[in-house]
Structure 1
Amino acid sequence: MHTKEQRVALVTGASRGIGRAIALRLARDGYALAVNYAGNRAAADEVVATIAATGGRALAVQADIADPDQVAALFATIRETWGRLDVVANSAGVMALAPIADGRLADFDRIVATNLRGAYLVLGHAARAIADGGRIIALSTSVIGTALPGYGAYIAAKAGVEGLVRVLAKEVRGRGVTVNAIAPGPVATELFLDGKTEEQIARHVAATPLERLGTPEDIAGTVAFLAGPDGGWVNGQVLRANGGLV
């Protein structure tokens, strides 16, 4: 497919976990991929190589999404490379668990900087850069509903993301652009598993009617739905891909 005719997708946080799975799935669906990463260049290069090995086109682009200058440069690189942008999936995120009463302000600030400020920056640039008929997808979390202890800062940031999505869906009116969020349940990624005991993981599994952790591919498939033609009437929504977790 000629580059100018190929649809282009940006996935932030695409070097590992859910972001990596989203990038690989969208590449399989025919998109050229901007594989964003914050610091792990080797992992991002591996994603690019995997896409290239199956005949796809991809480029690793470094940017800390909490930094406005780096986000601007990220979108400029996409514009200069492909001249278009059709899908943005904002998957980059960080997590640190602690009771609110602990007052761990440094962790709170880091979580909000990436998960909320970063989403605000990426969604804002996406709204300006996305082609008519494009799709903007943010990652939230189903723990907003379960309100588990220790997740206060993470929930606060992701709840903000859901608010941004609902507003932006109305602000891009008239261009055929959809803006949605996906709220995964427990997914077996490094981000989720880090620091959890086997007993804690088993409790998460038991809480889900499907009695398993999600996989990154489960979430990537949901992104593919929203990015594809069958998701065109879904707009301003939060889709809870969580195996039935309440």
Structure 2
Amino acid sequence: MSQHDITGKTILIAGGAKNLGGLLATDLAKQGAKAVAIHYNSESSAKDAENTVAAIKAAGAEAFAFQYDLRRADAVEKLFADAKQAMGSIDIAVNTVGKVLKKPIAEISEAEFDEMSDVNSKVAFFFLKEAAKNVSDQGKICTIVTSLLGAYTPFYAAYAGTKAPVEHYTRAVSKEVGDRGISVTAIGPGPMDTPFFYPAEGEDAVAYHKTAAALSPQSKTGLTDIEDIVPWIRFLVSDGWWMTGQTILVNGGYTTK
């Protein structure tokens, strides 16, 4: 068994109860993971977390679920401690947590900015901090950002702007843990067909996004599907370990840098 194989590995996924995180958790269990710990934010996701735990177990892996509001650094620390105690180690850590806001900058309140900064930037920073401290040697760390980091567009200053620092966090952390054989990456999906996407977009914007990628005609929704992103994460946290310090935009030709 390769040291970069998923077989027998222990995995922590923040935001792992549903959507992309839930699909990833189940997929990695099917790839032979020993145990998968998922995080969810609030009671509203508790049932989703239960369903994902059941799916992980059905795939043959141990499963654990932990509820925390990760906007506090001590909560991120406790999440890693809980996951490590439950599984014995953390070989792979993936952060899928994020929040979307589409608004002209002139209309964004201080409270809205603070919330976006906390969820998209602060959570990512402290997740990477704890991952650097707790992930096993030869481990893998991956964060979900957004393809808007490569776009020239209005209305997403708070969203893309608070995801942008994760590129720098990723580069810095990859240098700091590289001598332990740990790779650190970020993936920026295009607009994804999830419940988080539609409330932020008007009808016209949804129609545009569904035709904006070069490969949109080949997609079942025209958007980036979560099934399109999971294989990339799977690759980067296994055989693709030689890629590190990079932010990769995976969007079917929606935008590029």
Q: TM-score range by the shorter chain?
A: over 0.9
**Whole-angstrom distance in 2 between the partners of 1:91 and 1:47:** 15
**1:19 Cα deviation from its structure 2 partner:** 1.3
Contact 2:186 2:247 (C-alpha < 8 Å) held by counterparts: yes
Contact 1:98 1:104 (C-alpha < 8 Å) held by counterparts: no
Which residue in the other structure is 2:22 paired with? 20
Which residue in the other structure is 1:214 paired with? 224
TM-score by length of 1: 0.94
**1:205 Cα deviation from its structure 2 partner:** 1.8
Which of the residues 160, 165, 170 maps onto 1:165? 170
**Whole-angstrom distance in 1 between the partners of 2:17 and 2:152:** 28
Amino acid at match of 1:145: G
Amino acid at match of 2:65: A
Secondary structure of 2:146's match? coil
**Whole-angstrom distance in 1 between the partners of 2:8 and 2:78:** 22
Which of the residues 175, 179, 186 maps onto 2:180? 175
Which residue in the other structure is 1:30 paired with? 32
**Whole-angstrom distance in 2 between the partners of 1:106 and 1:72:** 25
**1:232 Cα deviation from its structure 2 partner:** 1.8
Which of the residues 32, 53, 75 maps onto 1:70? 75
The one-character-per-residue Cα deviations of 1:72-115 (angstroms, maximum 9, x if unpaired) are: 11111112112111111110111222111113221111111011
**Whole-angstrom distance in 1 between the partners of 2:81 and 2:58:** 26
Amino acid at match of 1:225: F
**1:126 Cα deviation from its structure 2 partner:** 0.3
TM-score by length of 2: 0.90
**Whole-angstrom distance in 2 between the partners of 1:98 and 1:25:** 35
**1:12 Cα deviation from its structure 2 partner:** 0.6
Contact 1:147 1:155 (C-alpha < 8 Å) held by counterparts: no
Amino acid at match of 2:252: G
Contact 1:66 1:121 (C-alpha < 8 Å) held by counterparts: no
Aligned residues: 241
Percent identity, aligned pairs only, is 36
Amino acid at match of 1:158: K
Q: After TM superposition, where is structure 1 displaced by more than 6 Å over at least 4 residues in a row?
A: none
1 or 2, which has the higher strand percentage?
2
Which residue in the other structure is 1:200 paired with? 205
Within 5 Å, which residues of 2 pair with 1:27-106?
27-31=29-33, 32-39=35-42, 40-106=45-111
**Whole-angstrom distance in 2 between the partners of 1:22 and 1:194:** 23
**Whole-angstrom distance in 2 between the partners of 1:205 and 1:226:** 27
